[in-house]
Structures are given as C-alpha cells and as structure tokens.
Amino acid sequence: MKLDSPLVTVWIPTCNRLKLLKRAVRSVQQQTYENLELFIVDNGSNDGTVEYLHQLAIEDKRVRFHCFDVNRGACCARNYAIEHASGEYATGLDDDDEFLPSRVEDLVEAYDDQYAFVCSGYIWDYGKIKRLLLDSNLIIKIDSQLNYNQASNQVLTRRKRLIDSGLFEESMVSSQDWELWTRMILKYGAARRIGKPSYIVHTAHDKPRITDSLNNRIVGFQQFHKRYGHLMSKTNQKCFDFLVHYNKGGKIDFACVVRFFTPAIANKLLRAWLASLFPKIARKRLELFKRD
C-alpha cells in the first residue's frame, strides 16, 4: 500500500446482530489496506451491541460509531455514516456479511474518477454451498444497469459523490442499492466492475435479511420502476418483467422462456427454467460452484 493512500471509510449499519457484527468488524480490521475508518451506526439494539461498540472504539482508534435510540432503518444508518465520516472514499458492508482480506485494496487500486464507482464480484454463501456471482469484468453503462443490478450491493467511490448524488433513498423498502447505483451512473457516467470476488453475502443464519421478504422485494421493484421505467428500452423492460415474475414465484416453463427471452438475461432465464425442470441437477450445480 502506498504511503499516501487516501482514507477509506467503511460503513456498517447494525441492529441486534452482535455475533454477526463482530465477524463483519474483524473482516474490516484484517484488511490489507490500512488507512481505514470504520463507521458503525446502531439502530436501537438491546443485545449488548452498544456496549461492544464503546469497547471497540477504545481498542481500535479507527472505529467510530453512532447509536440511534430506535430503529430508523438501514438506509438512514448508512446515510448518517456517509455524511459524518472522514474518508475521502467510502464503501459499505452489511453487518451479516464480510470482506475478504484484500477487498478495499483491490477496489482502491481499480478506482478511477472517470467511472461513477468501482465494484466487484461476490460470493453468495448458503452455508455448505457457495456461489460466485457477477464475477466478470464489466464497464457498467446505464443500459445494462437497467436490466438488473450489475453492481451488487456495495461499491467504492468518493464519499462526496455519494452525498452529491443524494445518498440512499430512505423511502425505498428494497432495491435501495440498485436505485442509488443507477442514479450515480446517470450522474457520473459508466461504472467499473472487477470480476475478482472480494465480498461474502451470508444467508446461513437465522436473522432476517430485507431481501427475504417477498412483499418488500416486489414493492422495491415497483418503486424502482416508477423512477426509471421511462428510461427503459424494450430489453430493459423484459428483464425487469422477468425479475418481478420470478420473485413472485411465477411458473418457469417454456412459455415463460419465450415470453421473457432476451440475450441480456438469457443466462438467468434459462438457468431458472432448467432448475424448474431438473431441481436435483440444479442443486448439484450449486454444489459444483458453477458461475453466474
């Protein structure tokens, strides 16, 4: 790491997930990139999180935190951290996920002001099964971003850009990341994705994730479409309609494939169709770590 490396803020929103939070914090503390600020915002926890944060800030001077008296939502917590942080650059981490050791270093090295932000592939961890997603290099232009979220749930960019873009939209019940990244691409131009996975999304725990709520997912999609539907091409709209159909649990058969087919989403569509035809093979495919 260069001696003049810029300060990078990592924000973490949290609420009553102390054990998971500790894993997330360790993954930040173990980064190969050292010039870090870790900003944690607690949303009214009553499980010992507040006491842990006080002790953590004493032990690690890179740690800052703020505690809300009540749960004001993850987006409010993220926005508070971004607005009050000190880093020139900023990136996020959910409290039930973790960074791989070189994530921040990789993202900083890949960042260039010509791009709205930089992001990476990630690992979806079901417990015994892991799956690589978005693990290919891509310059993310608005057309491809409107097909589906090409940037995953976290990016790295200049903190001022997040603020100037208007931060996370707190009225969105889901797809808040997709919405903000889309807004940033419209404002600053294309983004860059590096294929190397450096973020782990953990789902093998008993704590809720916002995306676990079917109603939240569908409402979030509707909110996204209300904002950006007027920009969507016919291909974008087909991709969007398939995402809604799939997340509603709609039947995936040959007629569905014909109805929604477009090259932009062919892999997702065909994979869903094959999974419906051969569920045992689909499960085996995951076990073999086939790529998205």
pLDDT in tens, 38-77: 999 999 999 999 999 999 999 999 999 999 999 999 999 9
DSSP H helices in 48-122: 49-59, 74-84, 103-110
- Report pLDDT for 151: 97
Share of the chain above pLDDT 70, in %: 91
Q: Give me the mean pLDDT over the 164-174 stretch.
A: 97
What is the location of CATH 3.90.550.10 in the chain?
A: 8-210
Q: Residues 75-94: pLDDT tens digits?
A: 999 999 999 999 999 999 99
Closest to 153 measured CA to CA, from 71, 226, 204, 95: 95
Question: Quick one: 8-210 is in which CATH superfamily?
Answer: Spore Coat Polysaccharide Biosynthesis Protein SpsA; Chain A (3.90.550.10)
* For residue 288, pLDDT beyond 50: no
φ/ψ of residue 173, rounded to 5: -90, -20
Torsion of CA 34, 6, 106, 77, to 10 degrees: 80
- pLDDT category at 286 given cuts 50, 70, 90 is very low
Which pLDDT band holds residue 291 (cuts at 50, 70, 90)? very low
pLDDT-based confidence at 215, cuts 50/70/90? confident
Name the pLDDT band for 203 (thresholds 50, 70, 90). confident
pLDDT of residue 206: 55
What is the largest distance, in Å, between two alpha-carbon atoms of the chain? 60
